[in-house]
Amino acid sequence: MNATATPLIDGFGRLHDNLRISVTDRCNIRCSYCMPEKDVHFIDRTEILSFEEIERFARIAVGLGVNKIRVTGGEPLVRKDLPVLLQKLRGIEGIRDIALTTNGVLLAEQAQALYDAGLRRLNVHLDTLDRERFRQITRRDELDRVLAGLDAAQRCGFGPIKINAVAVKGLVEPDVVPLARFGRERGFEIRYIEFMPLDAQGIWDRGRVLLADDILKLLADGIGPLEAVPDPDPRAPALEYRFADGRGAVGFIASVSRPFCLNCNRIRITSDGMLRYCLFALEETDVKSLLRGGASNEEIAAVVRRVVSAKWLGHEINSAKFVAPPRPMYAIGG
């Protein structure tokens, strides 16, 4: 942070030091809880921020105290030359941590270049180890490539590698225990993410969320007892558990059953340069026009401050007042 800059603190006293950058809304698979099956409307390429624009915005955010960045999408590995961007971001003084969330389909071919660009932390999205079920969930037959991607990432030396599994009731129950076993054997932490109302087809319903407690029960019955891990970072959203036999850990992003808004430290920028203070925000602030329209870094920094200071207390998923944002997950950047 600049010596003169004050940190990004919102009206509820929450410090914001975590930036999620979406680099594309395009994707090479079609998860049913995220994208529509066909007729996907993608953002025009001319509207997508260039690497230079992303780097400039990241530098401004770091000047305001951001020190953690996660790159996401859509599928970030479909963005050409992503390692070049990672290298640029890594070069920003003040960044402590860079991570990438990917579906893993292109990971085998890109793992080494990503590692060479300095990336170490990966979240790979995988809901099932069963080929037919993978096809059913993602509408694509790409399981083998994702598994090859995980192998390649481990060979390169990435760590930690976490696996994101979306918890949809009536869909993934058969996969919960096999995935956790796979994680225990291979040294991956599985993160079960409660299904959120951000799917493109509007199929979300509270009754379709496989809750963290349901998953804990499936794991305890199928594998053995778990114990909660005391949280070293209360601002991290995941609830962590380890198996009592000492073999492996799992985490839960329980946005529905145990919202973590009170500890939120995140801001997001979409691939078309819209700044968001929350995944579920109904409003966005157009930073791209500022980046392209001759605004100074100070002017853009002032906008970021304004957005953070106007941030709401939290989403209202559990209330009748909840309104889903107009953009689905793939277009916001998960």
CB of 5 to ligand SAM, least distance (A): 30
Write out the binding residues for ligand SAM, residues 261-300 only, by CB under 6 A.
none
75 near ligand SF4 (CB under 6 A): yes
User: Under 8 Å CB-to-CB from 294, ≥6 apart: which residues?
Assistant: none
Task: Indicate the residue among 61 and 332 with the shorter CB distance to ligand SAM.
Answer: 332
Choosing from 8, 27, 98, 269, the residue that interacts with ligand SAM (CB under 6 A) is: 27
CB of 33 to ligand SF4, least distance (A): 7
Phi-psi region of 248 (alpha: psi -120 to 50; beta: other; left: phi over 0): left
Choosing from 16, 20, 125, 305, the residue that interacts with ligand SAM (CB under 6 A) is: 125
Spatial distance between the Cα atoms of 124 and 122, rounded to a whole number of angstroms: 6
Stretch that binds ligand SF4, among 11-19, 27-35, 237-245, 248-256 (CB under 6 A): 27-35
User: Under 8 Å CB-to-CB from 267, ≥6 apart: which residues?
Assistant: 8, 16, 18, 19, 20, 61, 66, 275, 276, 277, 304, 307, 308
CB of 101 to ligand SAM, least distance (A): 4
User: How many other CB atoms are there within 10 angstroms of residue 137's CB atom?
Assistant: 23
CB of 138 to ligand SF4, least distance (A): 6
Which amino acid is residue 162, in one-letter code? Answer: K
106 near ligand SF4 (CB under 6 A): no
Element (H, E) at 144: helix 143-156
| Contact between 170 and 32 (Cβ < 8 Å) | no
Tokens at 126, concatenated: 């995988």
Spatial distance between the Cα atoms of 225 and 23, rounded to a whole number of angstroms: 40
Give me the residue label for tokens 């009592």.
Answer: 244
Find which of ligand SF4, ligand SAM, none residue 23 binds, CB within 5 to 8 Å per kind. Answer: none
Interface positions with ligand SAM (CB under 6 A): 27, 33-34, 72-73, 75, 101-103, 125, 164, 166, 193, 195-196, 198-199, 329-330, 334
Interface positions with ligand SF4 (CB under 6 A): 27, 29-31, 34-35, 73-75, 103, 125, 329-330
